Structure 1
Amino acid sequence: MALAIGFFTIPPNSTPNLRCPLKKDAFNFIHLLKPTPRRRIRRELKSVAAMFTDNVVVSDLIAGGLSGGVALSLLKLWEQTAKRGIFDQKLNRKLVHITLGLAFMLCWPMFSPGRQGAIFAALIPAVNIIKMLLMGLGIWKDDATVKSMTRDGDYRELLKGPLYYASTITLASAIYWRTSPIAIAAVCNMCAGDGMADIVGRRFGGQKLPYNKNKSVNGSIAMASAGFLASLGFMIYYSSFGFMEASMKTVLGFLILSAAAALVESHPLSSELDDNLTVPLTAVLVGSLVF
């Protein structure tokens, strides 16, 4: 007994370490959400702009080549999985839907700040707009792309969802760019949110919404959650480069916007038009109010 008491006795000259291990983590998260000084933002933007070379145009060309290579590699990967039947066609299409836009956004820090970097970045999805038009009109034949991006293998479907998808990313890059939470919310809710809504809804969508029997409660929850978490992740990612300020106001804005996007996506009219059209429009309209 004496040995046990002696083992648990704190030496008189020592200070017990009774701090909660979560305290430091909580402080770090709160510190992350504090506004970033403008001087630091300008300094970090300048350093990122010269990521490859001191010549900004050459640097943007290199960034464009690398970003295009990433997007093309992902597209070819999903084309092969569709061709080999590794995934169900609907699941494969949603994996394309989720990954392409988000992977491209991960490449945005490689471009220079300002309008030039935005235009160079927008050229990459703009090329895909031309491709969707040519294939959707039957001018260009590519069965692998059609199979990986359409519901029923009809090339004319490319003139709807896939075309809206590429247009959204192009406009988000050219108009709003990486300094705007609206760009983040539009792409994240369209890619991660709408993509996860379909995947979860098909597998766990037993309970349907009272106003739309084609949509489920779990699917809508998955959309709001995935869109919000993806937006939050990109906010932290871009703030680490100094592109934007991470704040609780922005977090709340993302939460409101993702909930609104999920509500619009669940409406029957959204299915008739196209989720790739209604979700980004909702992000722009609601984002203009909350940000």
Structure 2
Amino acid sequence: MWASLGGIAVAMGSPRMGLRQLGCSSLKEIRGGDGFRRKRKKRAGVMCNGGWDNLGVLRDGGAAVAVALGAFAFVRVVDVVARRLSLEQVYLSFRQKVSRKVVHILSGVLFMSSWPIFSSATEARVFASLIPLLNGILLVIYGFSLAKNEGLVKSVSRGGKAEELLRGPLYYVFVLMFCVLVFWRDSPTGIISLSMMSGGDGFADIMGRKYGKAKLPYNNQKSWVGSICMLTSGFSLSMGMLFYFSSLGYLQLEWDQVATKVALIALAATVVESLPITDFIDDNISVPLCCILVASLLFGFHTH
């Protein structure tokens, strides 16, 4: 499903193509003082004939439904694969450690990758935000044990307890929703923040648990290997996602400057993630918050 969504994104998500097909007003190129150019669509929704027409509503509504179904299917597939690949004892360990981080990493990446499926309407981000909102509601329901879903609990919680859904996983989907509504797909700040939270922090945990014998001198819960993976994977994913949105026309970046800025953001996020503060603030809050602050300083605070 995700592959199909990606194909639709290339066909429908390009701002250039959408404008030509719909006959809307031209792109307005804006150069900021932050070293990159952005092409902003001078449109309010699909307003070619006096308003955000039914086609735009159907496209964004259909995209929201498709991505939501894809997200649920993805979590289900991870759970089923874990069951079939492992014996019971190994399976429990796999689900509670590795599968949790697989969901953590790919949920953010696949969700961002689906954004071009939505129309260029201003309201499109609202439809996209419904997906993490729905997931947040489900986490609250299962977290308070108002309903039971053992597979979900085992796949996304650290210790297999329902109440854990109300912490890290819930913060995660709220950050997704915040970045969609505030930054969306034509701001590097939101893209980098989600990339560092999902990919950087996710790979740091996986590799740190497996190879992280050498601990940091100021935090024996974190390792050098984990921090190095946080820095490199977060930087790589951020650059990859920026290239993805740039190739579709949402961003035009001065890559020599962007690489340096992304490296500084990744370094700052890595330092914050390594601090012994997880008892006070979850990584799913501290990492994206750090990225938003540093990226806003380096790129400027741009919202659309």
Same fold at TM > 0.5: yes
Aligned to 2:260: 252
Change (3 A) 1:271 1:99: farther
Q: Which has the higher helix share?
A: 1
Change (3 A) 1:54 1:254: farther
User: Which structure shows the bigger proportion of residues in strand conformation?
Assistant: 2
How far 1:113 sits from its partner (Å)?
Answer: 2.2
Question: What is residue 167 of structure 1 aligned with on the other side?
Answer: 174
Q: Which runs of 5+ in 2 are unaligned?
A: 1-34, 300-304
Note the alpha carbon deviations across 1:97-135, whole angstroms, 9 max, x for none.
111111111110011124311111111111001011111
2-structure distance, mates of 1:100, 1:62: 19
Out of 226, 236, 244, which is 1:229 matched to? 236
Give the letter for the 2:208 counterpart. G
Cα–Cα, structure 1 residues 114 and 288, in superposed 2: closer, same or farther, change >3 Å? farther
CA distance in 1, matches of 2:83, 2:122: 39
Whole-angstrom CA distance in 2 between matches of 1:133 and 1:165: 13
Shift of 1:273: 2.1
List per-residue Cα deviations over 1:128-172 (Å, max 9, x = no partner): 010111111111210000000111111000000000011011111
Establish whether residue 59 from structure 1 lines up as the match of residue 56 from structure 2. no
- Partner amino acid, structure 1, of 2:71: A
The residue number in structure 2 matching 1:285 is 293
Distance 2:159 2:82 in 1: 13
In 2: Cα distance, 1:75 partner to 1:238 partner: 25
Identity percentage of aligned residues: 37
Does the 8 Å CA contact 1:186/1:280 hold for their aligned counterparts?
yes
Shift of the alpha carbon at 1:246? 2.1
Confirm whether residue 261 of structure 1 aligns to residue 269 of structure 2.
yes
User: Is residue 2:143 matched to residue 1:143?
Assistant: no
* Cα pair distance change 1:57/1:64, threshold 3 Å: same
Please report how far the alpha carbon of residue 241 of structure 1 lies from its aligned counterpart in structure 2 after TM superposition. 1.2
Cα separation, 2, equivalents of 1:37 and 1:143: 45
Query: Is the 2:185–2:250 contact (alpha carbons within 8 Å) kept by the matching residues of 1?
Result: yes
Q: Paired residue for 2:208, among 201, 204, 209?
A: 201
Q: Secondary structure at the match of 1:178?
A: helix
Matched, 1:68 2:68: yes
Q: Partner of 1:98 in structure 2?
A: 105
Q: Note if contact 1:146-1:153 (Cα within 8 Å) is conserved in structure 2.
A: yes
Post-superposition offset of 1:272:
4.2
Q: Which runs of 4+ in 1 moved over 3 A?
A: 34-38, 81-87
The number of aligned residues is: 252
**C-alpha separation between the residues in 2 aligned to 1:139 and 1:61?**
28
8 A Cα contact 1:70 1:104, kept in partner: no
Alpha-carbon distance between aligned partners in 1 of 2:203 and 2:241, rounded to the nearest angstrom: 17
How far has the Cα of 1:214 moved from its partner? 0.9
Amino acid at match of 1:70: G
CA RMSD of aligned residues (A): 2.5
**What amino acid is aligned across from residue 148 of structure 1 in structure 2?**
S
The DSSP-based 3-state class of the residue aligned with 1:195 is helix
The Cα of 1:206 is off from its aligned counterpart by 1.7
| TM-score with structure 2 setting the length | 0.77
Which residue does the alignment assign to 2:10? none
Change (3 A) 1:79 1:272: farther
Separation (CA, whole Å) in 2 of partners of 1:287 and 1:263: 15
Note the C-alpha offset of 1:69.
2.2
Pair 1:71–1:37, CA change in 2 (3 A): closer
Instruction: Give 1:252 deviation, angstroms.
Output: 2.0
